[in-house]
Chains A and B, each alone.
Chain A
Amino acid sequence: MKPATSLRLPGSAAVARHGFWQANRWLILRRLSQLLFLALFLTGPLFGLWIAKGSLTSSLTLNVLPLTDPFFALQALLAHHALEGKAVIGALIVLAVYALIGGRMYCSWVCPVNLVTDASAWLRARLDLPEGVALNRSTRLWILGAVLVVSALTGTAAWEFVNPIAILHRGLVFGALYGAGLAWIVVAALFLFDLAVSSRGWCGRLCPVGAFYGLIGNKSLLRVRAVAREKCDDCLDCYKVCPEAHVISPALKGEGRGLGPVVLSGDCTNCARCIDVCPERVFDFGPRWKNHATHDVLTGNRPDKTSQAAA
């Protein structure tokens, strides 16, 4: 029989202290958001009620709002194809929104692959599996670069030949849930890769789409903040649930190094699971400014001039 400690899953302390809803609120909202984005595309083929038409790469909502994946637009540009009006406007809208709210919110709030890799992470935690291969964090940036080079050299949108996000989304939306065919093989491959090869490997280390959106949202305004970091009791639950655990430390433990409580890394997906699972309620969402090392946002104490200069 396993010792009781290994069965203590991250978040259970928060559930005990704050109740199920408070300890799972952002996770539930995020799942609803992911399902909502699928549903917007599915009401048309299933019920004839067309809200969003197309796929995540390029879509038309309510016959007026064009949205285009700026990563695809960049590939097309490098492939020497000047996109036409609707696609350019759509790409600019997406670019602007994610530059504002955080590019990787796409990863955690929209992308259907996140459902697959989160399921893999969930199972991994319950089976207590080893972390597997530790891939370099910069791998996805290299892959992003490789995709852009191949696009330019072959004159095609290279990532779209393999993009599992698009394959899965098209499979769901154009197969109308049942005829997704080989898309399920892609799902199984990603699930098993994250489960058996490398923990959080696909979304966190390999996917160039995530890398691209991380770059877009590098200076975004909406951020997770460790506003009450002095209350942290080092239970490590936030690190355990975070898909990009390295983004937490500077904000949570950076006070001694003069770092503010705002999570500034573009890698953060704003999934807000850390807000959920923290029994001490250290984290919240907020703007990226007021990021002073000694400024306690919760109590509203204004920092004095010397500490501001130190920050």
Chain B
Amino acid sequence: MAEPLSPKEASRREFLAGTARTACAAGFFGTALALWVRQSQALPATALRPPGALAERDFLGACARCGLCVRDCPYDTLKLAEPGSGPTVGTPYFEARQVPCEMCSDIPCVAACPTGALDHGLQDIAKAKMGVAVLVGHETCLNFLGLRCDVCYRACPLIGKAITLEVLHNQRTGRHAVFIPTVHSDACTGCGKCEKACVLEEAAIKVLPPKLALGVLGAHYKLGWEEKRKHGGPLIEGIIDLPDRGYDAPDRNSQGGFKEFKP
């Protein structure tokens, strides 16, 4: 049978057992917290960060969730995420379809940020990258249907730069043009004015996080014409550029139609 423990040994064992228990509990807590932290980093695609926000993971290490940017936003665009609302609790975001960013030239939200989670290096709001607008609703966009809605184009604070209207042939009627709103990602700030302005019940143009909105070429991929432009001429010397064979239109008859055409 075991010897009864001395009082000192008993209290030592009690201390060690208690410490081990607490350490295990803390380990369990830490693991749960780490999982929760990882899981709640998924930002919904409709939630846009304020201008100048660091990349999402850095942002979550820097943002104090203090709401000073929200307080200084003059248009009540920004709001703090409530528990369960999507973005990490307490962090600032906005939803373009509800209230878009008005692109204040003095960027008060960035100026208010005490921690640098919104990069104070952003001086020109036109250089902000809150997201990129994408015309996702090709089947419903009124301009795609051949009408001249143009509302997104006109609502864009960088009109003619971030969104242009590209004229294409209207395949449906065969005799009209369509004016396709076309986003240029290098100029688009992701302010969301276009998404807010879209007249459809569900916006055909949506601001998405750049990661979702943009394709990225492989690093090895070279565009021949760009390489030629950068080089200032053909990259391989001595290539003979043969003349292209021309298209000879068939002769017309007296009514203006083609002679060989027999319906």
Contact = CB atoms under 8 A, between A and B. Distances in A.
Interface of A: 44, 50, 53-55, 57-60, 66, 68-69, 72, 75-76, 79-84, 86-87, 90, 136, 138-139, 142-143, 145-147, 149-151, 153-162, 166-167, 170-171, 173-174, 181-183, 185-186
Contacts of A44: 71
B61 interface: yes
B63 interface: yes
Q: Which residue, of A76, A81, A138, A185, has the highest number of chain B Cβ atoms within 10 A? A: A81
Contacts of A90: 114
Interface string B100-143: 00000000000011111100100000000000000000000000
Nearest to A84: B116
Contacts of B88: 161
Contact of A155 (B26, B57, B64, B89): B57
Nearest to B27: A146
A83 B117 CA distance: 8
B21 A166 contact: no
Contacts of A139: 22, 25-26
B44 interface: no
Contacts of A59: 66, 68
A69 B115 CA distance: 11
Contact of B68 (A53, A145, A156): A53
Nearest to A66: B114
A72 B64 contact: yes
Interface string B213-252: 0000000000000000000000000000000000000000
B192 interface: no
Interface of B is mostly: helix
Given A80-B61, A139-B25, A142-B25, A54 B82 contact: no
A69 B38 contact: no
Contacts, number: 151
A76 B33 contact: no
B66 A154 contact: no
Nearest to A186: B83
A158 B37 contact: yes
Contact of A86 (B18, B22, B71, B114): B114
B114 A156 contact: no
Interface string B34-46: 1011101100000
A154 B88 CA distance: 14
A167 B34 contact: no
B210 interface: no
Interface of A is mostly: helix
Given A138-B19, A142-B26, A150 B63 contact: no
Given A55-B64, A146-B26, A174-B70, 14 more contacts: A44-B71, A53-B68, A54-B114, A55-B67, A72-B64, A76-B61, A139-B25, A139-B26, A156-B41, A156-B60, A157-B61, A158-B34, A166-B65, A174-B67
A83 B62 contact: yes
B89 to A, nearest CB: 6
A151 B66 CA distance: 18
A146 B29 CA distance: 7
Contacts of A158: 33-34, 37
A76 B115 contact: yes
A166 B90 contact: yes
B158 interface: no
B26 A145 contact: yes
B160 interface: no
Contact of A156 (B61, B67, B89, B113): B61
B115 A83 contact: yes
A160 B64 contact: yes
B58 interface: yes
B84 interface: yes
